[in-house]
Amino acid sequence: MLKGKLLPQNEEYYLIIEVAMNGLLRDEVIKYIRDLMPPRDELLVNMELEAAQKMVPIVEPEVAQMLYWLALSHNVTRVLEVGTAIGYSTLWLAKAVLPRGGSITTIEINKPRYESAKSNFKRAGVEDDINLIFGDARELIYEMTGPYDFIFLDAAKGKYLDFLEQCINILTPGGLLVADDVFMRGMVISGEVDKKRNKTAVKRLRDYLKAVTGHPQLETVIIPFSDGLALSYKK
Ligand SMILES: C[S@@+](CC[C@H](N)C(=O)[O-])C[C@H]1O[C@@H](n2cnc3c(N)ncnc32)[C@H](O)[C@@H]1O
């Protein structure tokens, strides 16, 4: 059960979500989980700082760890990622996939972020193993033939539904389709949008969630972790 509580912060009020574990704040739960994580490589920690400084949205460490765990436990070898940013989630996935001789294709539309990702892959010594593509996934995704056994959607949220049939086509049976930020900062659940232009994106994400949970070729679970993740398994 989720319960909203208003707390004063910087003279404004923010909605703090409480979880039903003796009223523990969600932040406390996340901190507890994060403290249990094995120490991260220096490069990953530096990338977290780089992302914070440049205000680049990247997955939280525990979400990255979950992606890594999913790829590792499902013997994933062929990954497609939509939305590289500076390559943080890509490098977590690479840790699971590259030692098995796998490959990762990742798409980024923003040139400075694409360049940052390129240097981060170089620093990690994996630049030859990751197919980093500069361009618009809204067009490029239809050129991808795969097959992939793991697709991570982390960009163009309003397009997730449009991408769905293509993702299913290029995903192998037994493969995973993971969509990030499906709650869109909670707006998908509350229906209350901060800006008028987010109304369409919220509707499209709701339609995406209905589509993946009811799709005959998929088994989907929605995880209320971070900003919501939809994990779909192709039957
Ligand atoms: C949430 S960030 C990705 C974060 C990254 N997956 C991580 O966790 O480290 C989303 C990225 O997708 C990129 N993006 C947005 N629309 C895109 C599109 N149509 N095609 C490719 N990339 C896009 C943005 O520039 C941004 O860097």
Ligand 1 pocket test target in 109, 116, 133, 134 with most atoms within 8 Å of CB:
109
d(CA 4, CA 208): 25
| Per-residue pLDDT at 23 | 59
Q: Please state the atom number of ligand 1 nearest to the C-alpha of residue 58.
A: 8
- Our answer on whether the CB atom of 156 is closer than 6 Å to any ligand 1 atom is yes
- Our answer on whether the CB atom of 94 is closer than 6 Å to any ligand 1 atom is no
d(CA 9, CA 117): 34
**Could you please report the per-residue DSSP string of the chain?**
--EEEEEEETTEEEEEEEPSSTT-BHHHHHHHHHHHSPPPPHHHHHHHHHHHHHT-----HHHHHHHHHHHHHTT--EEEEE--TTSHHHHHHHHHHGGGT-EEEEEE--HHHHHHHHHHHHHTT-TTTEEEEES-HHHHGGG----EEEEEE-S-GGGHHHHHHHHHHHEEEEEEEEEE-TTTTTHHHH---SSTTHHHHHHHHHHHHHHHHH-TTEEEEEE-STT-EEEEEE-
pLDDT exceeds cutoff 80 at 99: yes
Domain boundaries, the chain: 1-36, 42-234
| Per-residue pLDDT at 195 | 83
Q: For the segment 77-93, what is each residue's pLDDT rounded down to a tens digit?
A: 999 999 999 999 999 99
Ligand 1, atom 25, lies closest to the CA of 110
pLDDT exceeds cutoff 70 at 25: no
Ligand 1, atom 27, lies closest to the CA of 85
d(CA 120, CA 222): 31
Distance 155 CA to ligand 1 centre (A): 4
Per-residue pLDDT, averaged over 220-224, amounts to 94
- Our answer on whether the CB atom of 88 is closer than 6 Å to any ligand 1 atom is yes
- Our answer on whether the CB atom of 113 is closer than 6 Å to any ligand 1 atom is yes
- Our answer on whether the CB atom of 178 is closer than 6 Å to any ligand 1 atom is no
| Per-residue pLDDT at 191 | 86
- Our answer on whether the CB atom of 217 is closer than 6 Å to any ligand 1 atom is no
Share of the chain above pLDDT 70, in %: 89
Determine whether 11 is exposed, middle or buried from the number of CB atoms within 10 Å of its CB (0-12, 13-18, 19+): exposed
Q: What is the CATH number of domain 42-234?
A: 3.40.50.150
Q: Are residues 33 and 70 in contact, defined by beta-carbon separation less than 8 angstroms?
A: no
Per-residue pLDDT, averaged over 184-208, amounts to 89
